[in-house]
């Protein structure tokens, strides 16, 4: 079974259990913290995927990172994962938990790439567009600035991408000019 499917099942289980016990927000905060630690320190991901390091040592690292702030349910989940020697999928579980949490809370995450930082008025316009596309109530807009776009924007919502950048339009135009539409009659 693929890591994605396994991570999805673990994430669904912990989400449903957190809902049942009434501490979804706390468990969500724990998984966000795990993802943030991994983004700031890539060695955590390498450690969790390293087959040479024992499961006990990996669990000790997780306990040290979450000693004072983690929910009891989250720590129990880490222990179960450790007992089954599945620490390598823990970061995938965190990502999948975030996706399922957003789906449960009716939150749409969209990525917006522009050539300059946008103001509040433009942000509201993009939020309105994302709400139209997704049909969900809440929108989280992840903004990136990329001057290589030359102008315009790229908006990604789930598997849909709206590319209105000048660089892509120039690429299309260049490919059209490379085709020879003229046929000689001689």
**Is residue 67 very low, low, confident or very high in pLDDT (cuts 50, 70, 90)?**
confident
Residue ranges and CATH numbers for the domains of the chain are 3-103 (1.10.520.20), 106-178 (no CATH)
Question: Is residue 2 predicted with pLDDT exceeding 90?
Answer: no
pLDDT at 185: 63
**Is residue 8 very low, low, confident or very high in pLDDT (cuts 50, 70, 90)?**
very high
Read off the tokens for 151.
Answer: 């102008």
3-state secondary structure the chain: CCHHHHHHHHHHHHHHHHHHHCCHHHHHHHHHHHHHHHHHCCHHHHHHHCCCCCHHHHHHHHHHHCCCCCCHHHHHHHHHHHHCCCHHHHHHHHHHHHHHHHHHCCEEEEEEEECCCCCHHHHHHHHHHHHHHHCCCEEEEEEEECHHHCCCEEEEECCEEEECCHHHHHHHHHHHHHCCCCCCCC
Name the region of 22 (left: φ>0; alpha: ψ -120 to 50; beta: rest). left
- 65 with 35: CB under 8 angstroms? no
Question: Is residue 86 predicted with pLDDT exceeding 70?
Answer: yes
Beta-bridged to residue 107, according to DSSP, are 138
Measured on CA atoms in the order 158, 163, 168, 173, is the torsion positive or negative? positive
List pLDDT tens digits, range 121-160: 999 999 999 999 999 989 999 999 999 888 889 999 988 9
Closest CA to 164 of 115, 122, 110, 109: 115
pLDDT at 21: 95
pLDDT at 181: 67
List pLDDT tens digits, range 39-66: 999 999 999 999 999 999 999 999 999 9
Provide, rounded to the nearest whole percent, the portion of the chain with pLDDT above 70.
96
Backbone angles phi, psi at 116, to 5 degrees: -150, 160
pLDDT at 1: 60
Question: Is residue 103 predicted with pLDDT exceeding 70?
Answer: yes
Average model confidence (pLDDT) across the chain: 92
């Amino acid at each position: 079974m693929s890591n994605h499917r396994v991570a999805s099942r673990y994430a669904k289980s912990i989400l449903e259990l957190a809902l049942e016990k009434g501490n979804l927000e706390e468990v969500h905060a724990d998984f966000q913290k795990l993802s943030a630690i991994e983004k700031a320190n890539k060695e955590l991901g390498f450690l969790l995927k390293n087959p040479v390091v024992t499961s006990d040592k990996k669990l000790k690292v997780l306990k040290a990172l979450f000693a004072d702030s983690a929910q009891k349910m989250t720590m129990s989940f880490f222990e179960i994962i450790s007992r089954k020697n599945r620490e390598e999928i823990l970061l995938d579980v965190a990502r999948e938990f975030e996706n399922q949490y957003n789906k449960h809370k009716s939150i749409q995450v969209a990525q917006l790439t522009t050539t300059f930082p946008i103001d509040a008025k433009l942000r509201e316009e993009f939020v309105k567009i994302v709400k139209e596309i997704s049909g969900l109530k809440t929108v989280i807009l992840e903004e990136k600035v990329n001057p290589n776009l030359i102008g315009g924007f790229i908006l990604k919502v789930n598997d849909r991408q709206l590319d209105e950048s000048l660089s892509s339009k120039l690429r299309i135009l260049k490919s059209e000019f490379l085709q020879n539409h003229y046929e000689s009659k001689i």
